[in-house]
Amino acid sequence: MEDVSTYGHVAMRPSVRLATTQQLVTITVVVSRAWVSAVHMDIKARGAEVGVARRGGLALAVCAAALLLTGPAVQAAPRAQAGLPGPRPGCPPQQGVVAPAAAPWAQQELGFASVWKRTRGGGVTVAVVDSGVDANPQFGDRVIPGPDLVAGTKPGIPPGADCVGHGTAVASIIAAAPVPGVSFMGVAPAARILSVKISGTDTFPTSVTPQGIMDAVQFGADVINLSLATPDDVQGLRNAVEYALRHNVVVVAAAGNDIEQGSADGNEGTGPFYPAAYPGVLAVGAIGPGGVLAGFSDRYTPVGVTAPGVNVTSAYPGTFPAAYDAVQNGTSFAAAFVSGVVALVRSAHPGLNAAQVVARIEATAHGGTSPGTGHGMVDPVRAVTAVLPAEQASAAGRQAGAAPSGLSTRTVALAAIAGAFGLVVVVLAAVLVIRRRQGTGPSGRHAG
């Protein structure tokens, strides 16, 4: 085993060849220029490269395939996504239980459902660089199986399978949609999850993690959740985080858990922990009921905000409805709540860049008073709805310096007005070549 770090819960050598698939699609669509732009960005967020055949005039990046890729806002009936792995004997060693009947305290404390009329995180892809993601009806069809950088290390385990339960738990806190009879739900139920598997154990190799981060960027992630921590400042890990930030990706990381002396993996004492301590990363500490900082949440990592991380409920590998865990503890799960809030903000405020999203979330948090608490507990409602003077001034400056452009306001008109609604009808034969890339990556700990 290489130098080992851990996931952020209180708790390998990949060799993957690139593979591509191609599919030819002919489509007829009704579009405007704004719709074209939105759908193009949607496909880009899925990690696809889109080539559109041209036949004179304006070249259109029209992708009706996005209509198939966008999952429904609410699942009509509990049904797991076809193709996602499920639990296997010993993978994980223990399976989930039925969710508690009452709404979990964390969901009540954050109150994020009150902003769902404005945004549910639609159009945003959150990469979970973790232990894989197993099927659960609350994911609907919104999980993208990304690279498995440790595939084949355990015989009989399908690619992407979560033999730890950590990745599934994190993903569910971020994006589990409401389903009848289940009290648990995630923060951004219309966001997509990109699963990038970097480990099949409670630890993660820091040699693989940088590749997982870069793969997440290349697959079109808008947010990368890193619920893992190492006390070592690994150059490759630093470089990968900087790469993501340069590509306008919000990187959210667990602040790390202070562990007892003499731990099996050799990571003793306190932080700072990485990647949370890198500049530009939104580091997240854990609180319990009442907003008190958890005893295990590290005080030396430069925390941006805090979120629930004590006795929180999450999905967990198992046979639905016995597919939950109600006693999760760790900064891993606090980071997941914040990644969900980032998805809501990026969906509601698409004009903000990654640094502005982080600034908005920190500016709207409340209650930070001591080391390890940063700006305080994340506030999903204020993060989405607050009017911030700094953003208004920035927007006014951009408008003053922007040159007028008639082309940007034109409607793509290649046919006729349809009916009394005045819709522009465009009949377009587009050839879409969608190529999906799959890729690979020294070692760390889950921060759960």
Asked if residue 377 lies in contact with residue 306, where contact means CB atoms within 8 angstroms, the answer is yes
Element (H, E) at 39: helix 33-45
Instruction: For strands 366-367 and 376-377, give the pairing.
Output: antiparallel
Asked if residue 163 lies in contact with residue 148, where contact means CB atoms within 8 angstroms, the answer is no
Preceding peptide of 145 cis, ω within 30°: no
* Helical pair 354-363 and 331-348, crossing angle rounded to 10 deg: 110
DSSP-based three-state secondary structure for 248: coil
Q: How far apart are CA 329 and CA 313, in angstroms?
A: 9
Element (H, E) at 317: strand 312-319
Q: How far apart are CA 6 and CA 174, in angstroms?
A: 20
- Return the residue matching tokens 């079109």: 220
Q: Fill in the amino acid letter for 359.
A: A
Phi–psi pair at 173, nearest 5 degrees: -65, -35
Residues in the chain: 448
Positions marked catalytic:
130, 166, 332
What is the Cβ-side half-sphere exposure of residue 308, based on CA atoms within 13 angstroms?
28
Q: How far apart are CA 83 and CA 401, in angstroms?
A: 49
Q: How far apart are CA 94 and CA 96, in angstroms?
A: 7
Rg (C-alpha) for the chain, rounded Å, is: 22
